[in-house]
């Protein structure tokens, strides 16, 4: 059976060129990047090259890139780092006011759970709603601002819908209010252009395994001058922002993946967008009552979230997997959750429709023949499950 993988938002395969770049750092070039001898200096040089590659992808300066274990750590470092630093400043002043953070209702759990943990420590958090397309309204953001607001954190592209938020406009609002601005760019970096300067970002999170680097490596962009509470304690690695011996092989892989993404981004986006549109049009044409969630919003070129009324999404995922097609009902870290997707209910879907929605996410190696095969498998699976469903007419 030739298996079809349409779950690239969960993770991607390591690109062969990325693996080739990493391999020497598991063997001959195994040195600790903090050691001053030749072995260590070879590792150090590789780490700094990767730092430049990631910085170039984001149009940042190399010294503004800190390597982490992935998107969750980067998000937590940014959010706790700003909020707790501000908390100390505010509570040590004559004012007894606690800091205030603005997020959205459709953030990844790495952001939402971090914000909820802050609330338990006395930090106020406003969660902005989104419209039917998954977009925030800028006037609501302006109204949410307070004198004590210290951070706006809004994800760039949603992991379930692909919806792209208007970061440039949000950045202007944050700059005018003199508020730090963070974005979770885990689902956008390497897929669409991300330039930290016109977006006026202070902090940005990326995760390597979303764009063909290995799992367990990510980065946090920290704009020079940003005040950030230390997150971990240890040695003086990475200017003290992230102590601990560097994961040299992973860092090299992230750097190479960033370089490949930068060079192929425009070409990949055009091809993948065409394939996604073919998939959506074929499903809508052959599956009655199906519809694309957030179809009218700007989206990443690879992501499609489709509602199939009258069935359970997990049943369809299993049925398609048995036929050789991998997809998902939403975020991989939420698999097995009893509750419907918080993202889909936030855009106004009732629980039954949220549970009947499937995410297809394409990648660099997705082919026309795979999409054509998917368009044979999906309508047949939906038709079969609907015949068994007591809720579909």
Q: Which of 270, 333, 337, 388 is catalytic?
A: 333
Distance CA 7, CA 183 (A): 23
CA distances from 318 to 192, 311, 325, 347 (A): 31, 12, 9, 25
Mark whether 333 is an active-site residue: yes
Q: Is the dihedral of CA 51, 52, 57, 58 positive or negative?
A: positive
HEC per residue, the chain: CCCEECECCCCCCCCHHHHHHHHHHHCCCCCCCCCCCHHHHHHHHHHHHHHHHHHHHHCCCHHHEEEECCHHHHHHHHHHHHHHHHHHHHHCCCCCCCCEEEEECCCCHHHHHHHHHHHHCCCEEEEECCCCCCCCCHHHHHHHCCCCEEEEECCCECCCCCEECCHHHHHHHHHHHCCEEEEECCCCECCECCCCCCCCCCEEEEEHHHCCCCCCCEEEEECCCCCCCCCCCCCCHHHHCCCCCCCHHHHHHHHHHHHHHHHHHHHHHHHHHHHHHHHHHHHHHHCCCCEECCCCCCECCCEEEEECCCCCHHHHHHHHHHCCEECECCCHHHCCCCCCCHHHHHCCCCHHHHHCEEEEECCCCCCHHHHHHHHHHHHHHHHHHHHHCCCCC
d(CA 85, CA 89): 6
For 381, phi then psi, to 5°, come to -65, -40
Sign of CA dihedral 253, 256, 262, 266: negative
Contacts of 281 (CB under 8 A, 6+ apart): none
State both tokens at 259: 């370089």
Residues forming the active site: 333
């Amino acid at each position: 059976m030739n298996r079809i993988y349409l779950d690239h938002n969960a993770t991607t395969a390591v690109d062969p060129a990325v693996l080739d770049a990493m391999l020497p750092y598991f063997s001959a070039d195994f040195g600790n990047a903090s050691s001053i001898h030749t072995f260590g200096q070879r590792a150090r040089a590789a780490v700094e090259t990767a730092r430049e590659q990631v910085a170039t992808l984001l149009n940042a300066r190399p010294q503004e890139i800190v390597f982490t274990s992935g998107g969750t750590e980067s998000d937590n470092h940014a959010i706790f780092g700003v909020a707790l630093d501000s908390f100390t400043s505010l509570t040590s002043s004559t004012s007894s006011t606690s800091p205030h953070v603005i997020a959205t209702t459709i953030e990844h759990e790495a952001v939402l759970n971090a914000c909820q943990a802050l609330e338990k420590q006395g930090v106020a958090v406003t969660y902005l709603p989104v419209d039917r397309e998954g977009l925030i309204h800028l006037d609501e953001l302006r109204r949410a601002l307070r004198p004590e607001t210290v951070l706006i954190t809004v994800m760039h592209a949603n992991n379930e819908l692909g919806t792209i938020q208007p970061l440039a406009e949000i950045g202007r609002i944050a700059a005018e209010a003199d508020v730090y601005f963070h974005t979770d760019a885990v689902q956008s970096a390497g897929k669409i252009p991300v330039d930290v300067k016109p977006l006026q970002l202070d902090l940005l999170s990326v995760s390597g395994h979303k764009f063909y680097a290995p799992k367990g490596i990510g980065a946090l962009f920290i704009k020079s001058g940003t005040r950030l509470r230390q997150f971990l304690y240890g040695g003086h690695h990475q200017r003290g922002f992230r102590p601990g011996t560097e994961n040299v092989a992973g860092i090299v892989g992230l750097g190479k993946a960033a370089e490949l993404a930068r060079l192929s981004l425009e070409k990949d986006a055009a091809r993948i967008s065409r394939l996604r549109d073919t998939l959506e049009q074929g499903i809508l044409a052959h599956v009655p009552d199906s519809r694309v969630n957030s179809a009218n919003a700007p989206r990443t070129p690879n992501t499609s979230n489709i509602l199939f009324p009258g069935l359970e999404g997990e049943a369809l995922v299993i049925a398609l997997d048995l036929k050789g097609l991998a997809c998902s009902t939403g975020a991989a870290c939420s698999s097995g959750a009893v509750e419907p997707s918080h993202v889909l209910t936030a855009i106004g879907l009732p629980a039954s429709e949220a549970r009947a929605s499937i995410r297809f996410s394409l990648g660099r190696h997705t082919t026309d023949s795979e999409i054509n095969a998917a368009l044979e498998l999906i309508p047949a699976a939906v038709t079969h499950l609907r015949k068994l469903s007591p809720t579909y007419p």
